[in-house]
Amino acid sequence: MRRLRRLAHLVLFCPFSKGLQGRLPGLRVKYVFLVWLGVLAGSWLAYVHYSSYVELCRGHVCRVVICDQYRKGIISGSICQDLCNLEQVEWRTCLSSAPGQQVYSGLWQGKEVTIKCGLEESLSWKAGADVAPRRELVLFDKPTRGTSIKEFREMTLSFLKANLGDLPSLPALVGQVLLMADFNKDSRVSLAEAKSVWALLQRNEFLLLLSLQGKGHAAPLLGHCGDLYVTEGVPRSSGPAAALPALLRPLLPPALHRALQQWLGPAWPWRAKIAIGLLEFVEELFHGAYGTFYMCETTLANVGYTAKYDFRMADLQQVAPEAAVRRFLRGRHCERSADCTYGRDCRAPCDTLLRQCKGDLVQPNLAKVCELLRDYLLPGAPAGLRAELGRQLRTCTTLSGLASQVEAHHSLVLSHLKTLLWKEISNTKYT
């Protein structure tokens, strides 16, 4: 007992003990400050995330507006009954990247689906009771009452000519549009059916989905209600940071993005299979039945795939018909090439003497896709393939958009790349 008292006396009165006691209040203040700082940072991140979510994710507004128009008899469609009356369309995760295009994963008739609905920027989540009437006036204004089916057919054909070019295959596409409009198969197109399909045609992505149906590179259309439509499945993104929260993605440096691609992305043979599908998609855009299309935002985030690793374009919003791009560039005033940019990366040269944009794009689809594939395929590629694959991808990225080069040279380069990748994964479980 005496020993314990002596030890306590030494601890209480030694100089080191006094110094530690003197520092304790300061340490407490530091810890309190750090905890407060952490709470403040966490609250700010939560607020930013909530604000971003509220702005981007307004599926409830879409549903209210669409169902209001349906109940008034202004629009119709194959899923209206399930969406509005029976409530059998389940809205799940918000996938929207812009307020004007609402995208959700969902469930309908036991299938995983993607729900897409256009929402005008003016239709804020704060908007009041006048939202639906204003949207009706803007979006569902055509065709007008009294329009005959022949007039609607001609109206649709003129619209497609203006957007896709004067192609001999367009009457067949008009037939597809009318077939889709007559969803109840009563051999007539009502005004509500016509208004719905006309509103859908104004959505660039829907027009492309319709043009690419049956090719396997775009999700099959399952149904629509007004300008809301549903496609099959939810494509997985090939973006290196797809598994991370949206707020963290812009903060990652490019080197970390590439590292994440290897750690979190599919195995290399699966990536090769997805890349072959992407190259076939590029071929389809160039040699398609409904004209040429340009990819105007070439990022891995738009490169999706199914559960079987078949390529599936995740977002077609920035794929534009050649006619639309040329119309944008024609006679456009410019000081530099940056002034001749359609979308994010469809850029044409600027004629500095005439101060006008030229017609041919600087980089064709294939060159942009090959730039993407260098980061996607070279890391982790088999040692015996890496050198040849790197050489072919470098050759591919130097292709220009000049009309004289496009037809033969591009087809040859694309064919060589596909053959090289197929040789590596053919006769394996990856095919």
Please tell me whether the peptide bond between 143 and the residue prior to it is cis, using omega within 30 degrees of 0.
yes
Residue 147 burial (CB count, 10 A): 16
Of the chain, the percentage scoring pLDDT greater than 90 comes to 41
216: phi > 0 → left, psi -120 to 50 → alpha, else beta; which?
A: left
pLDDT at 136: 47
Contacts of 174 (CB under 8 A, 6+ apart): 153, 156, 157, 160
Count CB-CB contacts under 10 A for residue 41.
10
| Residue that has been written with the tokens 């389809």 in this structure | 284
Per the prediction, the chain carries an average pLDDT of 80
Q: In sequence order, what are the residues at sequence separation of 6 or more whose Cβ sits closer than 8 angstroms to the Cβ of residue 36?
A: none
Helix or strand (DSSP H, E) at 271: helix 268-287
pTM of the model: 0.78
Q: If pLDDT is split at 50, 70 and 90, which confidence band does 178 have?
A: very high
Task: Check if the beta carbon of residue 194 is closer than 8 Å to that of residue 143.
Answer: yes
Q: Provide the residue ranges of all domains of the chain, joining segments of one domain with +.
A: 78-119+143-232, 236-427
pLDDT tens for residues 232-270?
987 776 655 444 544 455 555 656 655 665 666 788 999
Q: What are phi and psi of 52, to 5 degrees?
A: -65, -45
Pairing of strands 356-357, 111-118: unpaired
Q: What is the pLDDT of residue 399?
A: 86
Residue with token string 């859908």: 200
| Integer Cα distance of 346 and 423 in angstroms | 32
Cα–Cα nearest to 376, from 303, 305, 430, 312: 303
pLDDT of 91 > 90? The answer is yes
The yes-or-no verdict on residue 166 having pLDDT over 70 is yes
Residue 13: its H or E element: helix 2-13
pLDDT at 80: 96
pLDDT of residue 25: 60
**Residue 115 belongs to what H/E stretch?**
strand 111-118
More confident position, 428 or 33: 428
Would you say 58 and 101 are in contact if contact means Cβ atoms under 8 Å apart?
Answer: no
User: How far is Cα 113 from Cα 292, in angstroms, rounded to an integer?
Assistant: 28
How far lies 421's CA from each of 256, 279, 378, in Å?
26, 11, 12
Return the ∠ at Cα 304 (arms to 299 and 306), rounded to 5°. 170
Q: Answer for the pair 369, 410: CB distance below 8 angstroms, yes or no.
A: no
- The four Cα atoms 276, 279, 283, 285 give a dihedral, to 10 degrees, of 120
Angle between helices 191-201 and 170-181 (to 10 degrees): 130
pLDDT of residue 247: 45
| Sign of the alpha-carbon torsion through 187, 193, 197, 198 | positive
| Helix/strand/coil percentages in the chain, nearest 5 | 55, 15, 35
Q: Which has the minimum average pLDDT: 250-264, 314-328, 340-354, 377-391?
A: 250-264
Edge-to-edge, what's the strand order for the sheet holding 101-108?
89-94, 101-108, 111-118, 228-232, 221-225
Find the mean pLDDT for residues 385-408: 81
Residues 204-217 have a mean pLDDT of 84
Among 317, 286, 316, 255, smallest CA distance to 413 is for 286
Amino acid at 23: R
- What's the average model confidence in pLDDT over 81-96? 92
pLDDT at position 257, please? 58
Look at residue 50 in the predicted model and tell me its pLDDT.
44
Q: Which of 227, 210, 207 is nearest to 65 (CA)?
A: 227
What is the fold, at CATH topology level, of the domain defined by 236-427?
A: Transferase(Phosphotransferase); domain 1 (1.10.510)
Element (H, E) at 403: helix 403-425
Q: Is 12 exposed, middle or buried (0-12, 13-18, 19+ CB in 10 A)?
A: exposed
Phi-psi region of 233 (alpha: psi -120 to 50; beta: other; left: phi over 0): left
User: Measuring CA to CA, which residue among 279, 268, 277 is closest to residue 306?
Assistant: 277
